[in-house]
A and B are shown apart, each in its own frame.
Chain A
Amino acid sequence: MYPRQISKDDVLKKYLYLAAVTLVLMLWLLPLGAVILTSVRPASDAAVGNYWGWPSGFDLVKNYTEVFTQTPMGRYFFNSLVITIPSVIGVLVLSTLTGYVLSRYRFRGNTLLFAIFIGGNFLPFQIMMIPVRDLTISLGIYNSYLALIIFHVAFQTGFATLFMRNFIASLPDELFEAARSEGASPLQTLIHVVIPLVRPALAALAILAFTFIWNDYFWAVVLTPSDAVKPVTAGLDNLKGQYVANWSLISAATIAIAIPPVVMFFLMQRHFIRGLTMGAVKG
């Protein structure tokens, strides 16, 4: 499974490998580098075609301040947070509940239910665009935070359930039997035994779901036409229309948008503890 290590003695191979990695990394990071550089250029640079050269000046503070003072990005940012945070929480809560039940309780239709959760993931969401839009309109939540929150939760919970089910299923059976024989109710077992032990999975899932929902463009465009509820992804597109000349500003906004998922990663990182279940059942 793991890539085989290059032997220390094979110097040529080692350097070739290093060179290849560096090259791929450069290619990969080049556009990002250009965007970062542009985000600190004075607006005039882009006008004269200085896309790749050294900036004629550094307007870092000015550009980034303007993103939030001269454009509605602040509003979009707020909208994104209002949509993303409850959605992520909703996904984590629902998938922990469904994963727990599907992995630990035998009941008629268990497998079928699980298959539906997984199968839902395979539906291309483009084909649901019109029905979902119509549904939100008839529910009276079209063009509101709630519309995006509900549908993000619905679409993310399928995969998240698969993830949590498998993680909870991998916990030793004896822990559940022990809890049950000590009189813990299913809910108590979930809260006091399962959740502390699946923390790393929840953290990983939180990052995934956060990034997915934060970066979503499709549903934002479909469900939230108005600026008042539009998230950053759709908002950035607006920016392009209004400020077509100011690429520095757009770049700065792009970088600002990319920051929350990164912050999320570092926030959740401390939950990735190896061997959390160590000492549970082994001698």
Chain B
Amino acid sequence: MQITFDKVSHIYGKGTPFERLALQEISLTIPSGSFVGIIGQTGSGKSTLIQHLNGLLSPSSGRIQLGDVEITSSKRMPHVRRRDIGLVFQYPEHQLFEETVAKDVSFGPLNFDLPVEMVESRTRESLEVVGLDYEAIKDRSPFQLSGGQMRRVAIAGVLAMQPKVLVLDEPTAGLDPAGRKAILEGIYRIHREQGLTTLLVTHSMEEAASYADYLLVMADGKVALQGPPREVFEQVDLLKQLSLDVPETVTLVSRMNQSLPDNEHLPHSLYREEELIDHLLKRLSVPKER
């Protein structure tokens, strides 16, 4: 589903002394099927931006186009269309409430009146996507799980709605490295298998580099930079100004290029860890002709 923002602004607490301009005339287009990484300092408006995607917040001005649905300050999102957009909030484990894991995951699909048999199979599938064993966990209380398991259950609760657009707000914050990787790999897999459009808000440049094919850099309620990761990572100075770092792979490549002769420079497109390692291994194993 293609997503277009046209000069979207959002003001919190309009007309009160607490008024705050959180988004400022944002315009962007996200083509269907892309995996977008959204990065930016804390308070830059990332969460505000993504809450516009399923009408939880309405723009104060401007226009949003989600597939064939249009949202403006006066035009709200129809309830049934919320299903198309799966939104995983920051710390989603705080929204668990059911007695059992299976019931909690099926809350979403049942709200959209899907037949019961279908709901069960979806619940099973989505728990498996996030790396949980359905049979072992389905009857446990979500409140007896570890923090990381709760997070996965909550994410599964959104996946079970089988949205066309998946939006995740820092899904890995506060998890251990193995847990992070497992969750992101699961998401990346269904992103490809089901042809989703995925938006991932993250503070980690490494995560953005490994999965995203398009990056949005937010600063002060504006999009400071956008483009394919390769182009964004070239703007090292601008990123530094925004207190953001480039991934270590990018630093490594540019450091190595400083000491390599011009004709042996590593290409800048090597910002993904695996690709960089493969490339380096290949160079090392092919004996150099002198």
Indicate, yes or no, whether A interacts with B.
Answer: no
Q: Which residues does B use to contact A, with CB under 8 Å? A: none
